[in-house]
Amino acid sequence: MVKPAFCFFRALALVLPLALLPGCGSNDKPTPKIAYPAKDKSDSSPRIEEKSNSLFSSDLLGGKRKSDDSGIGVNVFLWRAALDTIAFMPIASADPFGGTIITDWYQLPEGPAQRYKLNVYILDRVLRADGVRVSVFKQTKDTSGQWIDVKIDGKMAADIENSILTRARQLRIASSTTP
């Protein structure tokens, strides 16, 4: 026989999360701010400007973004250099705010029994030698046609990092000489 107190607590455990669920989200939309044009303009209709509550319009602590921020969250030269350096590989995903580029598997034309994949991480907004990290993955085909992971030497990742850094420096120099 089931005790009534047990049933009460069991029902409470099921209903309590549902009662608290409406407090998790907010349906409040930002209130538009009406900005009237200056008196000397011929158009007298008000403009509506939306206040942005986006994470990208302010930092996590509620302060305003610095005016020198660009549209992406990482160093622009490192980001562009990384894309330029690995342009021969198919890109599976690229996140300019988080600074990650993940490629799909790429087979060399001269070695169809091997394939490579890269994960590129841009770690800083400043062009520095430790601002980029590359992870390289390699697979080879065995006799049954299955892909097997192969451990590779860290020199390949370091070489790709150096190529990205060299290209980033070239891009920075080119942008400073351009009027």
Show me where the domains of the chain are located.
76-177
Chain centre distance of CA 141: 32
pLDDT of residue 44: 45
Closest residue by Cα to residue 50 from 32, 34, 68, 28: 32
pLDDT of residue 59: 44
* CATH number, domain 76-177: 3.30.530
Q: Under a CB-based contact definition with an 8 Å cutoff, are residues 71 and 51 in contact?
A: no
pLDDT of residue 176: 87
Q: Which amino acid is at 6?
A: F
d(CA 174, CA 102): 27
Give the chain's end-to-end CA distance (angstroms, integer).
86
Q: Under a CB-based contact definition with an 8 Å cutoff, are residues 104 and 139 in contact?
A: no
Strand blocks (E) in the chain: 33-35, 47-49, 91-95, 100-103, 106-108, 111-122, 132-141, 147-150
pLDDT of residue 8: 55
pLDDT 10s per residue in the chain (179 long)?
555 555 555 655 555 555 555 555 555 555 444 444 444 444 444 444 444 444 444 444 444 444 444 567 889 999 999 999 999 999 999 999 999 999 999 998 888 899 999 999 999 899 999 999 999 999 999 999 999 999 998 899 999 999 999 999 999 999 988 66
